[in-house]
Amino acid sequence: MGEFVLQTITNATQDMEKKISVQGYQSATFDISGTATSVDVNFYIIAGSGEKRAVNPTKISGDLDIVEKGTINNVYNFDVTGITSMIVALSSISGGYVNVHMTGVE
């Protein structure tokens, strides 16, 4: 069992979606930080049918809601057992940039 970097988004200043393979992992952690004054962060899984479905994470640290406002410094965790892919979507970024560091645990 180990932890591996799945993906890193650095200095995002515009809307984007990033698809990440999580097949074979038990959990995925998303560490979101940056200088932006606000950003909307949404998470999705890709179902067996290929359909994109919204999911809510378990928040490990940071502010209380998914729509980040002020200093961005939050960590989210997902149980991804049996899931092949996830998508992190950033939108409405303003006042700076956003970084996302994603790791997976086998």
Q: Look up the domain containing 47 and give its range.
A: 9-99
What does the pLDDT look like over 47-74, one tens digit per residue? 778 888 999 887 776 554 545 444 577 8
Question: Which residues make Cβ contacts (< 8 Å) with residue 4, sequence separation at least 6?
Answer: 25, 103, 104, 105, 106
Domain assignment present for residue 3? The answer is no
Domain assignment present for residue 2? The answer is no
CA quadruple 83, 56, 60, 63: dihedral, nearest 10:
150
Q: State the total domains in the chain.
A: 1
Mean pLDDT of the chain: 83
Domain assignment present for residue 74? The answer is yes
Domain assignment present for residue 104? The answer is no
Domain assignment present for residue 105? The answer is no
Q: What CATH number does the domain containing 71 carry?
A: 2.60.120
> In DSSP terms, which residues pair with 89 in a beta bridge?
17, 42
